[in-house]
Structure 1
Amino acid sequence: MSWNSPLFVLALIAISTIGWILTTAIRARHGYPVEGEWGGKVDHPDAARAAQLLEAENEMLRGKLGRVEERIAVLERIATDPAKRLSSEIETLRDADTGRAPSETN
């Protein structure tokens, strides 16, 4: 094969194409972002959906965390408040549940 033949040019194109396919396959297998035709990154089609699911889960967990923090604050207040104040609040809640006024207690 001579350097001036069209087969040499076709062989160079084939070798370049096979090398590009192999490097792209190796990059994809190992989790690297795949490059497009002109070197731009190609996103994985499920990546956007996975990000949306993670954002929804994060919002749910933030809500749960907020409720847990509120409950802990109530438990801390119960544990640190004097017994007299706690018993008066319980009585107020009982009175509110039965419909009596707080001043009607024994």
Structure 2
Amino acid sequence: MRVRPAERTACRPDAGAGAAPDAGNMSGSLPVTVHPPSPTGGRRVRVDGEILGLAYSIADVAEFLRRAGLEVDPAEVSVSPLIDWRGVGPEYWGPETDGASPDSG
């Protein structure tokens, strides 16, 4: 995965307060966690224990990481070994509206 430091920019209010120090190297000790879908849809994204926001797509996750000082190619987010996808994989953003669970596919 190609990662490079990004310039810090102002974030939307729902994007969190910013990044932890030394956020420019994703291969370091910054754990990235995408939590299971919420009951109303979207998934919480954390970097180094800090909630960055509620993502509704891979592009949102990539944007939150960029705002945290991590430049990540959106095409690589779903397959990155550096991101812990909790509950379900990157293809589910919830809520499930048809009554089917992600495993019943």
TM normalised by structure 1 equals: 0.21
Larger Rg: 1
Relative contact order higher in (CA < 8 Å, ≥ 6 apart): 2
